[in-house]
Amino acid sequence: MAEEVNYASVVFKANKQAPPKAKKEEETVYDEVKMKNETTEQTADTDDEKENNKQCHYQKLACCFGILCVILLAGLVAVFVVLGLNATLSGERNQTTLLAEIQNLTNQRNKLSVDNNNLTMERNNLTVELSNLTKENIVLDSNITNLTTRNQDLENQKNNLTQRIQDMETNWNEQNISRAQWSIYTYCIDNDAKQCNSCRKGWLLNQTSCYAVVNPDDRGQKTWEEAREDCRGKNADLSVVLTEKEKDTINYYSWGDTGYWIGLRAEGGKWKWMDGTELAQTSWIGDATEGHCAVSIQGERWSSVSCGDRQRWICIQDALSL
């Protein structure tokens, strides 16, 4: 810049007139200077322009680089932000997933706990049932043992009864023989006519039955049960009346006015014969009083008296067929 100022002083401040030669020289010099100045100015301008261009270029490059750095920085920030958001979202999702899994595991644990409690209760119930079944089994074993023993006892009783039946059959056969002999002796030999009769000695025949009228004194009279046992000892029973003719016969044999036991007594509010059949002709006697038995009085209808009273009695048995 100092050189340019010097050249300018030289060129533009030469205002004096000089000889032509000198003038030419000055012009020449001026021309040279001028050319030199122009070249120098052009060079300087070019340098400045280049310098300016360089500076502008550098500025542009710096600006671009700055912009690029800003863009890169913004991109990095955006990337970090996105990564952070993704990480946050991923963390939230993972946390939500973990919470859901924890809740699911908690529910499963609670369910398993409930199932375990139920299984424990079932196990306890099964244990109780097993204990009860064991006790029942012990009781059943005891019952089986008792039943086995009882069965053996029954078997022994059966054998004993079988033996008794055989013995009774033997005795019955022997008794039949003895009874036959007794019947022959009673009905055929032990009588004055020396022939067989339908009733044994002292018995009264009426149609198909034989009657024994027992007339003991007051000391020999018996209750209804005792009188029946006496008749049974005679292979007979207290008299049973089924028809009017039989009733008339019994009434005829009922001598005196005290009455005779017959085979009729009150049971369950009804008059029944000894075989359990009910009295068909209820007009023959009054109402049945529990504990009372019937007596036959000659010329009167049957009377109801206590079975514990002592009376005479009439026995009956079938007549022997000849």
Beta bridge mates, 272? 265, 278
Inform me whether the pLDDT recorded for 290 exceeds 70. Answer: yes
Angle at 272 between CA 268 and CA 276, to 5 degrees: 95
The percentage of the chain sitting over the pLDDT mark of 90, rounded to a whole number, equals 30
| pLDDT for res 44 | 57
Residue ranges per domain, the chain? 204-318
- Report d(CA 37, CA 286) in Å as an integer: 188
* Reported confidence tier of residue 14, pLDDT bands at 50, 70, 90: very low
What pLDDT does 26 receive? 46
Token pair for residue 253? Answer: 């044999």
The CATH number of the structural domain formed by 204-318 is 3.10.100.10
pTM equals 0.44
215: CB partners within 8 A, 6+ apart? 255, 312
Mean pLDDT of 298-320: 91
- Both tokens of 133, joined, read 């079944």
Quote the pLDDT of residue 275.
83
Range scoring the smallest mean pLDDT among 30-44, 115-129, 275-289:
30-44
Identify the CA nearest to 251 among candidates 211, 290, 287, 218: 211
State the pLDDT at residue 180. Answer: 53
Which pLDDT band holds residue 188 (cuts at 50, 70, 90)? low
- Mean pLDDT taken over the chain: 78
Alpha helices in the chain (DSSP H): 2-12, 20-183, 224-233, 244-253
Say yes or no to pLDDT of 265 above 90: yes
pLDDT at 139: 92
Angstrom distance (rounded) from CA 213 to CA 224? 15
